Amino acid sequence: MLANTRLPPPPATPIPPTRGSGGGGVEFRRKLHFLSEELHLDPFPLLAHHPALRSAPLPQLHASLSLLLSHGLSASDATRVFSAFPSLLTSPPDEPLRFLSADAPLPPPLLRAAVVRSPRLLEASVPETLRPALHFLRRRVSLRRRPLPVAAALLLAFNVDRTLLPKLLFLRDATGLPDPAVCGIVRRAPAILSYGIESNLKPKLQFLADRMGRDPAAELAEFPHYFAFSLEGRIRPRHEALRQRSVQMSLKDMLTISDDELRERLVDAALSAHRERITRLKCKAEISEVHEEQGMEVNLTRTPN
């Protein structure tokens, strides 16, 4: 009887990390408190993702937070940054912040806006990524605005040879526009260079030319923000709604007006078309009446005395 009885396994006893690893004792509990209570982060997934946090001294973590706060970021902004890139807790991004502040240059409000939207800016290498991207925007695209617009600052986190330049060349080849014209489009809508060629630029250009029957070169020169709108969520359904009612509208108006205004314009177009049909029918009726009267007069003149 006893031989066939399964006894429950003994409870697992957690093995405390040793002090030498920086993972035990009062210091470690303070570190957990800092991560959970001050940064509002779950410390255990963070430690699993970035084991160097175990041995990092607590003052270093405080210094990383203070660095971000000194550049205009809030505590919640810092939480967003450290959640995306825990390594910045143990390797404070002094160099990227100095570069973004001085070279871009981005004053604190713009720096905060850029970093919140793309924490990767603080993880990027200055000599390998940030500086080459800035030189590309300044020299190749001729984007000379100072400070750098936030939409352009977000591009600094991208590699020039793998991302920025191929997209610029694709736009040039796909539209047939010369370099200065393409660069002018990018200066007005820098986010274009952050969109994927296969997932965004190519299908939207094909739809613009093949389904909408519009000239991409002319339309992008007029409205370069076209690529920011969803093909399936906005561009296609709005184009179809206008096409079915034979309504002509500029690309900018088609995509930027509200749903309510679009409905109003479609209703106005339908009423206008209805009024035109009524007018045509009335004209036909009047013409028929005139013809009938003329026919009666002819018959009367032919009646013998």
Task: Give the rounded percent of residues in the chain with a pLDDT score beyond 70.
Answer: 80
The predicted-structure confidence for 178-195, as pLDDT tens digits, reads as follows 999 999 999 999 999 999
Q: Is the pLDDT of residue 297 over 90?
A: no
Q: pTM for this one?
A: 0.79
| Cβ proximity of 201 and 167 under 8 Å | yes
The predicted-structure confidence for 250-266, as pLDDT tens digits, reads as follows 999 999 999 999 999 88
Tokens standing for residue 102: 């001085």
Q: What gap in Å lies between CA 211 and CA 187, rounded to an integer?
A: 27
| Cβ proximity of 88 and 64 under 8 Å | yes
Give alpha helix (H) positions in 56-191: 58-70, 75-84, 87-90, 94-102, 108-117, 120-123, 131-135, 150-153, 165-175, 179-188
How buried is 234 (Cβ within 10 angstroms: 0-12 exposed, 13-18 middle, 19+ buried)? middle
- What's at 232, amino acid-wise? E
- What's at 94, amino acid-wise? D
- Please name which of 174, 253, 242, 185 lies closest in space to residue 209, comparing C-alpha atoms: 174
| Cβ proximity of 86 and 53 under 8 Å | yes
Q: What is the per-residue pLDDT for 174?
A: 96
- Please name which of 266, 204, 199 lies closest in space to residue 235, comparing C-alpha atoms: 204
Q: What gap in Å lies between CA 156 and CA 159, rounded to an integer?
A: 8
The predicted-structure confidence for 145-175, as pLDDT tens digits, reads as follows 999 999 999 999 999 999 999 999 999 999 9
The residue whose two tokens read 């660069």 is: 183
Q: What gap in Å lies between CA 121 and CA 85, rounded to an integer?
A: 10
> What end-to-end distance do the CA atoms of the chain give, in Å?
136
- Please name which of 120, 56, 75, 112 lies closest in space to residue 93, comparing C-alpha atoms: 120
Q: What is the per-residue pLDDT for 267?
A: 85
Q: What gap in Å lies between CA 196 and CA 161, rounded to an integer?
A: 14
Q: Which residues of 176-193 are buried (b: 16+ CB within 10 A; e: fewer)?
A: ebeeeebbbbbbebbbbb
Q: Is the pLDDT of residue 1 over 50?
A: no
Q: What gap in Å lies between CA 273 and CA 275, rounded to an integer?
A: 5
Q: What gap in Å lies between CA 111 and CA 115, rounded to an integer?
A: 6
Tokens standing for residue 145: 């605005």
Q: What is the 3-state secondary structure (H, E, C) of 105-141?
A: CCCHHHHHHHHHHCCHHHHCCHHHHHHHHHHHHHHHC
Kindly indicate the confidence band of residue 16, based on its pLDDT and cuts at 50, 70 and 90: very low
- DSSP letter for each residue of 238-285: HHHHHHHTT----HHHHHHS-HHHHHHHHHHHHHHHHHHHHHHHHHHH
Q: What gap in Å lies between CA 16 and CA 12, rounded to an integer?
A: 12
Q: Identify which has the larger pLDDT, 241 or 297.
A: 241
